Amino acid sequence: MSHCARLALRLPVATTPNMRWMVETGQPRVVPDVSAYPDWVELPGTEWIRSQISAPIRVNGEVIGFLNLDSNVPNRFCDADAEPIQSFANQAAAAIRNADLYDALRQQAEDLERRVEERTAELEQERAQLQTILDTMSEGVIYDEKLSVRYINRALTELTGYRIDEWKGFLEPLRSQSMSSDELQQMVHSLYEGVGSVHKRELRFRRKDGTEFDAHLTCTHVLNSDGDVVGAVTVVRDVSQEKVLERQKAQFVAYASHELRTPITNLKTRLYLMRQQPERMEDHWQILEDVTERMRRLVEDLLDMSRFDRGTISIQRRNVILQPLVRDVVRVQQPEAERKNLTLVCHLPADPLRIFADPERIVQVVTNLVTNAINYTPAGGNVTIDVMPAWDAESGDQSAIIAVEDTGIGIDDMHLPYIFQPFYRVGGTIEGTGLGLSITQQIVELHGGEITVDSVPGQGSTFRVRLPLASVSPMTALSGTGGTFHRP
């Protein structure tokens, strides 16, 4: 009876001659009787083997192993057995190769899938970043391909009133009434001239609601890999406000230089006259004082403005009572009101309103509002200052309100949104810098308050300043009533 077994052996090819032979020839080898085989190498665990047949397993021309059949009976195998064993070994080799190929393929597919997932995540992140940038930009953005608009951002919809589904043509929806369709076409073509370059243009645009604005366009071409223009990104910025301010600044510079030159000439004339007419010294003094005061005010406003611009304004806050500050302003402005034949009255509450503020700056705020009221109210009118406490039911915050009301010329609705901007002035007749309200608003906001205005042209204006009341500590509360405070 023959005996076969599975052996788990590692046989060194180099020192096992029949294996080496099979590696070199690729042929099967039959050993009918190991005792008659001079090169037989006996290893521990293989002593029982008497007869053997071996076939190399070749994958891609390389021997990767052997198929061995062992028997304890001599001459159990003969040369005729070699062929079927080799063909079995070949089938095993094919199966192993297929399995290897399949493994490699699966590995590749997994790698590919992972890489696609990673890339998809990267792309998604990039897309989200781009979307956030486009959504949070304050400028409008148009992306077109060959002048056909593919995308507009949120800011452009807010700026123009048009959604992407309402967009026709490239810039056609925004064409101003002052421009013909042909002119717009020419402008668009000039924007698209020159490969790969950036073009800038200023243009007047029309919103969906018919209103118009000055726009600044920056058009950047999008090129394909051959360098052909396939589209463009156009950034649209509303520059109307900048233009208004530019104009006002230019006006202001002209005004300020004129304003400074006139008093300087006046000063020189007066100095000359003072020498010529020493007996009229009093008159000259008065004029010198007025002129220098006007120059001082102008220079102070300019300095304040530039300090606000640079953020270097300093306010010295402390606990103060509001009423005496307002009373001071009224005392100083009363003669001016009388000179203009105006009635200036002031209503102050009996209970002191304590604020945590820079008293000089608060005086500046009230002075600006009262002088404006006096300046913009014709003779015979009234200027009324009302100071009162207020309490916000929702937040529980307590504040002081200073309302300056006049029966003057008022301010048209179209100007109201701009009067707090620096250099903005409605009319050109009354002297002023256009800086007063801007400085006033900034001071009020630095104190955590706010300023609002109601106005009816021809009837008058009311400016209201709200300032938070100082939080009252037990110490100040008691000392305010003259009591003594003992710490427990």
Which residues contact ligand ADP by CB under 6 A? 372-373, 376, 406, 408-411, 419, 424-427, 432-438, 461
Quote the strand ranges of 224-357, DSSP E.
Answer: 229-238, 318-321, 343-347, 354-357
For every residue of 445-459, DSSP letters joined together read HHTT-EEEEEEETTT
CB 146 within 8 A of CB 231: yes
Shortest CB 153 distance to ligand ADP, Å: 35
For residues 72 and 375, which CB has a smaller minimum distance to ligand ADP in the complex?
375
For residues 192 and 376, which CB has a smaller minimum distance to ligand ADP in the complex?
376
For residues 337 and 426, which CB has a smaller minimum distance to ligand ADP in the complex?
426
Q: Is 463 helix (H, G, I), strand (E, B) or coil?
A: strand
Shortest CB 425 distance to ligand ADP, Å: 4
For residues 170 and 376, which CB has a smaller minimum distance to ligand ADP in the complex?
376
Shortest CB 304 distance to ligand ADP, Å: 12
Residue 408: closest CA among 364, 462, 452: 462
Fill in the DSSP letter of residue 471: P
For residues 196 and 378, which CB has a smaller minimum distance to ligand ADP in the complex?
378
Shortest CB 343 distance to ligand ADP, Å: 15
Compute CA 402 distance to the chain's CA centroid, rounded to the nearest angstrom: 37
Residue 259: closest CA among 228, 224, 297, 221: 297
Shortest CB 317 distance to ligand ADP, Å: 24
CB 45 within 8 A of CB 60: no
Q: Count of CB atoms within 10 A of residue 305's CB?
A: 20
For residues 130 and 430, which CB has a smaller minimum distance to ligand ADP in the complex?
430
CB 333 within 8 A of CB 287: no
410's tokens: 């008022």
For residues 56 and 381, which CB has a smaller minimum distance to ligand ADP in the complex?
381
Shortest CB 346 distance to ligand ADP, Å: 16
CB 383 within 8 A of CB 342: yes
Shortest CB 332 distance to ligand ADP, Å: 17
